[in-house]
Amino acid sequence: MPPARSLPVVALCSQPLATDQNGNAAPVLCTDGALNVLAWKVYAPISPRVLSAGPAASLDSVRTALRRDVNVGHASTTQERSAYELAAAYYGWNFSTDPTASP
C-alpha cells in the first residue's frame, strides 16, 4: 500500500471510520488487531514519511519522519500519532520508547 515499500506484517481489514473535528480518523486498527486499510488511505497523503519508513527503521529515523510530516504542514501531532500507530502495526515496530513522545 503506498507509500509503504514492503508488505505488511499484520492482517488487513476494512472498518468504517469516524473522523473528528481535527481530521483524525479512527479506528486505525480493527477489533481483531488487523490494520484498517481505510485509515491507511486517510493518513497516506498527510503522513507519507512515517508510513514509508520501512520495517528496519530505527527509533531516530521514525522520530525524524514524524517531525518532518508535522513540520511541513502535512499532519497535526494528533494525526501523526495515529499514523505512527498504523506504521507500527504495518511494519511490526516495537520500540522501547514511544517515538511520538517528546524526548
16's enclosing H/E stretch is: none
41-55: per-residue pLDDT in tens? 999 999 999 999 999
Angle at CA of residue 25, ends 68 and 62, nearest 5° = 30
Q: Which residue has the cell 531516530?
A: 60
| Selection from 67, 46, 61, 45 nearest residue 93 by Cα | 61
5-60: per-residue pLDDT in tens? 899 999 999 999 999 988 899 999 999 999 999 999 999 999 999 999 999 999 99
Residue 25 lies in a domain: yes
Residue 42 lies in a domain: yes
Residue 73 pLDDT exceeds 80 = no
Backbone angles phi, psi at 61, to 5 degrees: -70, -35
For 87, the domain range is: 12-91
What's the Rg (C-alpha) of the chain? 12
Q: Mean of the pLDDT values across residues 68-96?
A: 91
Residue 5 lies in a domain: no
Name the pTM for this structure.
Answer: 0.93
Residue 2 lies in a domain: no
Please tell me the total count of domains within the chain: 1
Residue 96 lies in a domain: no
